[in-house]
Structures are given as C-alpha cells and as structure tokens.
Amino acid sequence: MDSLEQSSRRQFLTSLAAVAGVAVGPTLTVGQSYSAAPTFPVSCNSYSWVTFYGRQNKTWMADPDASLTEYAKAGFTAYEPAFTSADEVKKLLPYLAKYKLSMPSLYVNSTLHKADEAQQSIESVLAIAEAAKPAGTRIFVTNPSPIKWGSTDDKSDADLLEQAKNLDRLGAELQKRGITLAYHTHAPEHRQAAREFHHMLLATDHKNVSLCLDAHWVYRGSGNSQVALFDVVKLYGKRIVELHIRQSKEGIWQETFSNGDIDYQRLANYLTAQNVRPLLVLEQCLEANSPNTMGPVEAHKQDLMYTRSVLGSLLK
C-alpha cells in the first residue's frame, strides 16, 4: 500500500467516524418502514467519494446532508457504505431514507485469521446485520484484514486455515438472516501465487461465501495481469454476486470509468454468457498521479453513463 493509499484509508476511517459522530439528524423510529428507491441497477462505494473529498481537503460525511446531496445529484439511487459498528448503521439509515437511497450492499471490516479476534469480529458483523434490517440489505462485503495494513507480511498456513473456517462460519450465520457474504480482496491476497485468495474460496462452502470481484485489485495484485483476472473469472465466475468497478490507464487509476487497462466489455460479455448478474458497484477511486480535472459529482455522472453503456447487458 503506497502513501496515498494509506492516506486515503485514514480519510476513509475518518469518514466512518464522522458518520458515527452525527448527533442530530433525521429520525427513523422503531417499526417505521425504510423508504428508499425501489430499484438499484448501479450502486457506488463510499471509498471513491472519500478519495475525491480528500483531494479537496474535505471529509466525506463530515456533513451527511451536504455529502449525500452531492451523491444523489450524481444520479445514484443506491449506496454501499462501510461500517465498523451497529451504531453507525442506525445513524446513517435516516439519511438514506431522506435522500431516497437504497442500501443493497454494505462493506464490513473483519479480522478472521486470529481465533481470539474472530469471534468478536463475527459478533460485530451480526450486530450490523441486525441494525441494517430496515434497509433490506442483502449483500455484506468483507475483506479480512491483513497481518498489518501497508506491510508485506503474509499470513501463515495456520492463519489461512483459521481465516477460512471463520469466513465460512460468518457466511453461514449471515445466510440464516437472508444475507449473502461476499468475499473481497485487495492486492495482498494475490501475493504468493494468490494462496490466500484461492484458499478462501476453495475451503469455504459456496452456499456460505460468494465473491465480490474487485476487478482492478485482482488485476493489480497479480502484477497488472488481465490473464490472471480472467482466469479468476473462469474459475469462480458462478460465485460472483457483486462487481466493484474501477479503471486505470498505464496502471494509474483514472478520474472516471472509461476505456483503459481492463477490458470491461469482455468481462461483461463473459458474465452475461454465464448468466451471472452481479450487483454493479462503482469504486473509481483516486491515487497519486490520477488526473485532476473535475469534481466528484461530474466524475460520477460520467461513471454512470459509461457503466450503462459498457456493462448494460448485466443490468437486464
């Protein structure tokens, strides 16, 4: 993880704290129905907005009304936030109702390779699931934490065995609640012959653990390899329930989703042929040397237009 990624991660955690710190806002009383958009063809992860706001020296969700006004102005009717606690969910739901945003999926942190921490992580995620009931969220995305963010330390075989066991257990518990667990990766899971990535899918029951394919992290983590990306799609395509969408040119993340290093048309064609229709979630983040020509609203408007053009077959 380079310095900008570390900085963006800090901004992301700060944005979570901002949501958690909201003291006054719209209310959603116990038993009240959650009002949101009825359909959610294309969603967007909060992290891309964190990076755009960070570039402007602003904090995403420091002012929920201002942030979500811009989010809705970009044309989205669905949102994928990240949570670290059930309280954060309870504070966000009224804002989602206010701006008519559905929450078909959400991202949760987890530490599953350590037996003494895994139970606490599982309990935290299940508490989040309970809090998210009013939103009807059906997909929980998690990327089990590495040994240390930003380091090159790899998990041992014992760590991987423990993590897979706990990932499967978490997925089984969420399945009982009508929620699909989608396993997500960044670059570290694709080191060392991608042993962590493959073991998480091969050692878990497909009924309990699905895949959130973050196409660009698979591509980058494999040494900027489309061969590796499409091999992953061929191996595990039927388990893909969500697609995180990001593009680069010459290895650098772009401001907008467009033509670039990854052939998304090929990806869409393959998934369509396999009758796989994942939830589409934009995550066109910024990093060092990303172009700087527009703000978040205009950039995400362009993202949506290109997504519908190139990935339209996945929306039918």
Q: Is the pLDDT of residue 76 over 80?
A: yes
Give Cβ neighbours of residue 259 (< 8 Å, ≥ 6 apart): 247
Please give the model's pTM, rounded to 2 decimal places. Answer: 0.90
Q: Could you give the dihedral angle defined by the CA atoms of residues 176, 125, 39 and 304, in that order, rounded to the nearest 10 degrees?
A: -140
Give the pair of three-digit tokens for residue 72: 């809705």
Q: Would you say residue 20 has pLDDT above 80? A: no
**Residue with tokens 């653990």, as numbered in its chain:** 209
Instruction: Count CA atoms within 13 Å of residue 103 on its CB side.
Output: 30
Segment 179-225, tens digit of pLDDT: 999 999 999 999 999 999 999 999 999 999 999 999 999 999 999 99
Q: Is the pLDDT of residue 14 over 50?
A: no
Most distant pair of Cα atoms in the chain: their distance? 51
Q: Give the residue ranges of DSSP H helices in 132-214.
A: 157-176, 195-202
Task: Kindly report the length of the chain.
Answer: 316
- Fold classification of 3-20+34-315 is TIM Barrel (3.20.20)
Domain residue spans in the chain? 3-20+34-315
Residues 127-136 have a mean pLDDT of 98
> What is the CA 59 to chain-centroid distance, rounded?
19
Question: What's the CA gap between 97 and 300, in Å, rounded?
Answer: 21
263/309 Cα distance (integer angstroms) = 13
